């Protein structure tokens, strides 16, 4: 899909920059357990990979988690792919695997660090009331890769501007 010539809409809200564990709204223990479960299922990973899977910055958050897990012998460094802890190859130990299995009995969630409910609600409220207004030019540019009759644009445009879901189907 080509969006050349279409300017992205500027939102008045952006997520806050995470400068430390406290900025996540989650406990260090929760985040450590999440990192362990990720390593348990994914195997050996770099610090950068773990941070990416958690959707958290390595330097500001994940490095602290990994340092703690190493000290507690729940993970170990098996090698390095370059300079710095972000390139270390982390591997879960037997002790860490036991902890991960214990935590999996409580919750099977493994993935991005969740956003606390209050933060989510605040983000939705901050973005509320702003709707993208789709122009005919924007419609034609963004759907140029599809073969559509001209009359379809007259239906899709108002639907897109309604703020409701759109489902396109058919030959």
pLDDT of residue 149: 83
Which of 36-40, 66-70, 137-141 has the lowest average pLDDT?
A: 137-141
pLDDT surpassing 70 at residue 129: no
Question: What is the pLDDT confidence band of residue 105, given thresholds at 50, 70 and 90?
Answer: very high
Q: Which residues contact 131 (CB under 8 A, 6 or more apart)?
A: 161, 163
Tokens 């609600």 -> residue: 121
**What is the rounded average pLDDT for all residues in the chain?**
88
Contact 77, 70 (CB under 8 A): yes
pLDDT of residue 2: 46
Contact 31, 65 (CB under 8 A): yes
pLDDT of residue 169: 76
Residue 135: both structure tokens together: 């122009």
Residue 125: both structure tokens together: 């409220």
Residue 145: both structure tokens together: 């890769």
pLDDT of residue 9: 55
Domain ranges of the chain: 21-115, 132-171
Percent pLDDT > 90 in the chain is 55
Residue 45's CB is within 10 A of a number of other CB atoms, namely: 20
pLDDT of residue 155: 82
Q: How many residues does this entry show for the chain? A: 171
CATH number of the structural domain 21-115: 1.10.10.10
* pLDDT tens profile 11-66: 666 778 899 999 999 999 999 999 999 999 999 999 999 999 999 999 999 999 99
Write down the pTM of the prediction: 0.71
pLDDT surpassing 60 at residue 85: yes
Residue 56: both structure tokens together: 């958290």
**Cα separation, 145 vs 11, whole angstroms:** 27
Residue 48's CB is within 10 A of a number of other CB atoms, namely: 17
pLDDT surpassing 80 at residue 99: yes
Residue 61's CB is within 10 A of a number of other CB atoms, namely: 24
* pLDDT tens profile 151-164: 888 888 888 888 77
Question: What is the pLDDT confidence band of residue 131, given thresholds at 50, 70 and 90?
Answer: low
């Amino acid at each position: 899909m080509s969006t050349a010539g279409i300017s992205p809409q500027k939102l008045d809200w952006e997520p806050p920059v995470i400068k430390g564990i406290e900025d996540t709204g989650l406990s260090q223990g929760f985040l450590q357990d999440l990192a362990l479960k990720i390593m348990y299922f994914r195997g050996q990973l770099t610090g950068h990979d773990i941070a990416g899977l958690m959707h958290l910055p390595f330097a500001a958050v994940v490095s602290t988690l990994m340092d703690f897990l190493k000290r507690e012998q729940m993970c170990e460094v098996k090698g390095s792919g370059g300079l710095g802890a972000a390139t270390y190859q982390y591997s879960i130990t037997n002790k860490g695997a036991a902890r991960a299995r214990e935590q999996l009995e409580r919750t099977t969630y493994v993935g991005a660090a969740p956003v606390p409910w209050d933060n989510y609600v605040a983000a939705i409220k901050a973005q509320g009331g702003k709707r993208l207004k789709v122009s005919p030019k924007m419609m034609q540019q963004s759907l140029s890769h599809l073969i559509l009759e001209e009359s379809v644009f007259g239906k899709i445009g108002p639907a897109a501007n309604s703020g409701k879901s759109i489902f396109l189907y058919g030959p």
